[in-house]
Amino acid sequence: MLIGNEPLDLKLTLIDSAQCFRWTEADGRFGCAFEGGPVWLSRTQAGIEAEGNVDCAALRRYLDLDRDYAGLAGECAHIPAASRAVALMPGLRVLNQPPWETLICFILSANNNVARIRGLTDALCRRYGRKWDGEGGALYGFPEPRRLAACGEEELRALKVGYRAPFLIETARRVAEGFPLDALGDMPLDDAHRLLVTLPGVGDKVADCVLLFGCGHASAFPVDVWVDRLLRDWFGLKCKTRADMARQARALLGENAGLMQQFLFHAARTGAMALDGARREKSPGRQEIGRGASK
């Protein structure tokens, strides 16, 4: 199935951008369990093609292909650092992921690096999710809330999730019992944020990641070590807390601040746009810190 011919960089968006930890790469194809079935994406001369029984419109929404990213670039034309970051990565998109998957993945992200987050997510899916065998290898669905809520703490610790085990179980229980996760996208941002941080293992940064990547709140602005640093270096923002930093960034960058944040974050994390040298020298090897990291 031809999904579209937009300038989407599949590897950058699905694997390298630290916004999603579910996709696997094999022989130039990218696979994941999507809406209850396996799907493989690839880039051909015709455009982006999908293999699997999937809804084209749903997949385009997930990949954010219908958003005007050229218009997004125009919104930040007066802000040199933001404009440059968007221009450097024309194939990057901000995904619209399932809120439940996003919530669990970013609870796992706290104080973790990208490779480990991917490994923990994969371990949960292999142990508790549905398996599909195919030509590109096995793909695993994401465990349902009730299945995760039924786990024992030691059972999850055996998968190396560590101190996050009780957070996962209790959060899964609350979602299974009716926490309005799927309604957060229709709430005002501040209301949705206040509700999310009542869940175990969800602080300000994790909540903003869930709201941005899983609930469609384009102005949600996660502030981790990289974003804190780039806001100080490139924009001169000075705040005592990261919550205040996020509020100032939204005021500066507008209603799509969270989308621009993803470009800025990736530009800083990969070195495509250099941060202050002194600060970078103090933190060697930090480029793989996960989005929920607190240090």
Residue 279 confidence (pLDDT): 41
Number of domains in the chain: 2
Is 288 domain-assigned? no
In a domain, 188, yes or no: yes
Looking at the structure, tell me whether residues 117 and 63 fall in a common domain: no
With respect to residue 42, please indicate whether it lies within any of the assigned structural domains.
Answer: yes
- Looking at the structure, do residues 61 and 104 belong to the same domain, yes or no? no
Q: pTM value?
A: 0.90
Please give the pLDDT value at position 23: 96
Domain end (from 176, 201, 226)? 201
In the chain the first and final C-alpha atoms are separated, in Å, by: 43
CATH number at residue 176: 1.10.340.30
Residue 59 and residue 12 share a domain: yes
Q: Tell me, yes or no, whether 178 and 106 share the same domain.
A: yes
For residue 42, give the DSSP letter: E
Q: For residue 43, tell me if it sits in a domain.
A: yes
From 185, 201, 217, give the residue that closes a domain: 201
Rg (the chain; Cα; Å): 19
Residue 180 lies in a domain: yes
Supply the DSSP symbol for 16.
I
Q: What is the pLDDT of residue 291?
A: 53
Q: Which of these three, 181, 201, 221, is where a domain ends?
A: 201
110: containing domain: 99-201
Catalytic residue among 11, 131, 160, 205: 205
pLDDT score at 104: 98
Identify residue 72 by its one-letter amino acid code: L
Cα–Cα distance for residue pair 290/269, rounded to 1 Å = 10
Q: Is the domain of 183 the same as that of 118?
A: yes
Q: Tokens at residue 3, please?
A: 């999904």
| Residue 78 resides in a domain | no
205 is catalytic: yes
How confident is the model at residue 283, as a pLDDT?
A: 33
Residue 280 belongs to what H/E stretch? helix 277-282
- Asked, for residue 85, whether it belongs to a domain, the answer is no
The rounded distance, in Å, linking the Cα atoms of 196 and 189 is 11
- Walk along the chain (295 residues) and give the pLDDT tens digit of each residue: 888 888 899 999 999 999 999 999 998 899 999 988 999 999 999 999 999 888 999 999 999 999 999 888 888 888 999 999 999 999 999 999 999 999 999 999 988 899 999 999 999 999 999 999 977 789 999 999 999 999 999 999 999 999 999 999 999 999 999 999 999 999 999 999 999 999 999 999 999 999 999 999 999 999 988 899 999 999 998 888 888 999 999 999 999 999 999 999 999 988 889 887 434 323 323 333 345 443 2
